[in-house]
Amino acid sequence: MSHPEPYVPPPSMLLALTEIHRVAVELFSLGLSRKALARLSPRGDGHGVMLLPGFLASDTYSGAMRRHLSRLNYEVYGWGQGQNLGPRDGVLEALEERLLQIVERHGAPVSLVGHSLGGIFAREVARLHPDKVRQVISLGSPFGEGRLTASIPARLFTALNPLDELPIDQDTLADAPPVPTTAIYSKGDGIVNWQTAWQRDGHPQTQSIQVRGSHCGMTFNPAIWFLVAELLAVPLQQWRPYPQGGTVWRMLYPAVHAW
């Protein structure tokens, strides 16, 4: 039975206006650290990884991260549906079909990494096909209660995707899918209220990790690149919460919540 969503405000306009400047800083930092990241990040086992773009973005947005993960020995795919305009007719079905094709090609479950709305899609596909998904990693995805008001583009999203026509069950959206699940969020997010982007409760293979940075630059953030590589490298059936390190580690990842 559905229940009224609490009101959660979007980030302040002042914070939103800083997004473009912070993305520029993240791109600059990535340029300086790219070689070091390639050297320090753990190598993968060759399993399939699919990256899903956020609202209004396409596979172009995640191109740099996909190339980085490919160099770390993963078979990396985009979502292959052009611009992400929301869960319109046929979108989730096409995503399911693509997942099943990749699983058949590799003979093993696929890891899903989704930015913003892409992370919500990843969680829903994992809910439908838990045996086909190795893990889900969401980047600034507003799946928590209050999400319908908690982002800057909320009005545009609902205009393009009327709430009474959404194919996703709104009552279970905040529940973690039954696979290893990591929600990465930033309190400096200028597009999505961070309170809707971390997992408040979950099962024993659920965690939320705080990073520093913008929303729009999450696929260019060097700390996120390293973190995603660390998470993907965890052997199949050996998932564990991400360990908190010393002072420098806490500067990059201020908080880790695990259940």
Supply 72's token pair.
Answer: 């770390």
**Residue 133 banded pLDDT, cuts 50, 70, 90:** very high
CA angle 11, 229, 56 (to 5 degrees): 40
- Please list the helix, strand and coil fractions of the chain in percent, rounded to the nearest 5, in that order: 40, 15, 45
State pLDDT tens for residues 230-242: 999 999 999 999 9
Comparing 178 with 243, which gets the higher pLDDT?
178
Task: Tell me how long the chain is.
Answer: 259
> What is the average pLDDT score of the chain?
94
Report the pLDDT value the prediction gives residue 201, as an integer from 0 to 100.
Answer: 87
Does the pLDDT value for residue 1 go beyond 50? no
Q: Tell me, what's the pLDDT at 5?
A: 72
When comparing pLDDT for 36 and 2, which is higher? 36
Q: What is the DSSP string of 147-212?
A: TTTSBTTHHHHHHHS-GGG-SS-TTTTTSPPSS-EEEEEETT-SSB-GGGSS-SS--TTEEEEEE-
Q: Residue 164 above 80 pLDDT?
A: no
**Residues with Cβ within 8 Å of residue 149, at least 6 apart in sequence:** 5, 7, 8, 9, 10
Is the pLDDT at 138 greater than 70, yes or no? yes
Mean pLDDT for the stretch of residues 152-156:
90
- pLDDT surpasses 80 at 196: yes
pLDDT digits (tens, 9 = 90+) for 38-81: 999 999 999 999 999 999 999 999 999 999 999 999 999 999 99
Nearest to 233 by CA among 220, 223, 242: 242
Tell me: the pLDDT tens digits for 73-117?
Answer: 999 999 999 999 999 889 999 999 999 999 999 999 999 999 999
* % pLDDT > 90, the chain: 83
Domains of the chain: 13-258 (3.40.50.1820)
- Average pLDDT estimate for 146-172: 84
